Amino acid sequence: MIDGELSRRDQLVRAAFALVAEAGLEGLRLRRVAAEVGIDQSTLHHHVATKAALVAAVAEHAAGLLATTAPPAHLPPAAALRAHLDALADLVARRPELFTVTAELDLRARRDPSVRAVVERQEAGWRAVLTGLFTALGEADPAARTELVIAAVKGVRLVPDLAPLVLAQLGATDRTG
Amino acid sequence: MIDGELSRRDQLVRAAFALVAEAGLEGLRLRRVAAEVGIDQSTLHHHVATKAALVAAVAEHAAGLLATTAPPAHLPPAAALRAHLDALADLVARRPELFTVTAELDLRARRDPSVRAVVERQEAGWRAVLTGLFTALGEADPAARTELVIAAVKGVRLVPDLAPLVLAQLGATDRTG
DNA sequence: TAGCGTCCATCCAGTGATTGATGGGGAGCT
DNA sequence: AGCTCCCCATCAATCACTGGATGGACGCTA
């Protein structure tokens, strides 16, 4: 923690994140997470109390990465929307596992309250940004446009190759391009 | 099988379907499936060889339900697209669990080849229908429009209340309504 | 500096619960 | 008798989690 190294806890969270991307939440095993970091499985419980807590921490980690795509506040709305969608497309291309993990978490959130809390908070922020942009752009129904963007992004999450094709259709204000 | 009753196997598949909708693929337990039908867990293996086979059967069942929304062939393209989207919205409203299950299956398909086969076949059919419609409508980029529709539908799967709002934006040819 | 005590991270072994799957044996029908 | 369908008992494997023990780092006191 003093230097650039990660804390044990952060190492574990990242290892769990990678494992979820590879094997799904269903295939997440504490033993493998611990082994990946090079510690015993029982020692893991010393840093993360329970498996549920680890999953929640993975959700926080994912939310933090997603927040990266928020457009800078100083940009005019049209440019901000473009910047946001570009950042999204970039992130999908460079870190496709992140979106695999969020897809897993969206399903888990239906049954795990602590995961749901994290997912809902992140999505509320995203929703606020988008409606703000579409309102500033003078869209007739900013809420509807917002939900279309969110749905489209969530829908292409598992097929990164198609993301640019889909995202390109969401940027144009007149929705004709 | 002779009369209107379902075969034991079909009963099991539907029970598994319902259980996946409720508890996720992760929470699918053969014991509960069997109990739901009123037979012993060991007897279940007499009708469905393995758990993987049961999941694949659930995928087939879901694909069959989804195929319901295919538009009638005799309709003109604009009306056919509207009919398809309406049928989709109707299905989301009346059977939201179906879309929960397909979301689960989409994730499972990444790791289970037999599930992937079913999911990909169903999606290929859907994709063909949509590109056909958009091509007939004279769209500039039918493939792009197709992927937008698929992504948007997949994205709202877990939030049935928002489905009408999102689907309404996909029907208009000029994409301004 | 030497010696003692405390704390923390780690490991090994084992807990009870639950999982998917199997085998032997019967009930009922033809 | 033979066949289909079914249940009971049980298997081996795996799960998340806990207990007991070891050892090193640090601070304190004389």
Q: In sequence order, what DSSP letters do the residues of A66-132 get, joined into one string?
A: HGGGPPPTTS-HHHHHHHHHHHHHHHHHH-HHHHHHHHHHHHHTTT-HHHHHHHHHHHHHHHHHHHH
Distance of CA A174 to the CA centre of its chain: 28
From the CB of residue B120, how many other CB atoms can be counted at a distance below 10 Å? Answer: 11
pLDDT at A174: 47
Strand D nucleotides in reach of protein CB atoms, 7 A cut-off: 5-9, 14-20
- Three-state secondary structure readout of B114-157: HHHHHHHHHHHHHHHHHHHHHHHCCCCCHHHHHHHHHHHHHHHC
* Interface mutation vs chain A, best among B100, B116, B134, B154, most A CBs within 10 Å: B154
For residue B1, the model assigns a pLDDT of: 39
* Residue ranges of chain B with per-residue pLDDT less than 50: 1-4, 174-177
- Using a CB–CB cutoff of 8 Å, tell me whether B3 touches chain A: no
Cα-Cα-Cα-Cα dihedral sign, residues B167, B169, B175, B177: positive
Q: How far apart are CA A147 and CA A135, in angstroms?
A: 13
φ, ψ dihedrals at B154, nearest 5°? -65, -35
Specify which of A57-61, A115-119, A173-177, B149-153 reaches the highest per-range mean pLDDT. B149-153
Q: Which residues of A touch B110 (CB under 8 A)?
A: 24, 100, 158
Interface of A with B in 155-174 (CB under 8 A): 155-156, 158, 162, 165-166, 168-169, 174
Architecture per CATH, domain B8-55, reads as Orthogonal Bundle (1.10)
User: Looking at beta carbons, which residues of chain B come within 8 Å of A23?
Assistant: 111
**Which positions in chain A touch B150 (Cβ < 8 Å)?**
155
Q: Where in chain A is the domain with CATH 1.10.10.60?
A: 8-58
Q: What is the share, in percent, of chain A residues with pLDDT greater than 70? A: 93
**Residue A144 forms contact with B (CB below 8 Å):** yes
pLDDT at A175 over 60: no
**B144 to A168: CB separation less than 8 angstroms, yes or no:** yes
pLDDT in tens, A131-143: 999 999 999 999 9
Write out the residue limits of the CATH 1.10.357 domain(s) in chain B.
Answer: 60-171
* Burial status of residue B161 (CB atoms within 10 A of its CB: 0-12, 13-18, 19 or more): exposed
Q: Which of A110, A148, A175 sits opposite B152 (nearest CB)?
A: A148
Taking alpha carbons only, the member of A64, A71, A65 closest to residue A85 is A71
The Cα A22–Cα A17 span in angstroms is 9
In this structure, are residues B150 and B123 in contact, taking their beta carbons and an 8 Å threshold? yes
Q: Does domain B60-171 have CATH number 1.10.357?
A: yes
In Å, how far is A1's CA from the nearest CA of chain B?
36
Q: Where exactly does CATH 1.10.10.60 map onto chain B?
A: 8-55
Question: If one looks up domain A8-58 in CATH, what number appears?
Answer: 1.10.10.60
Q: Report the nearest residue to nucleotide C13, CA vs C1'.
A: A42
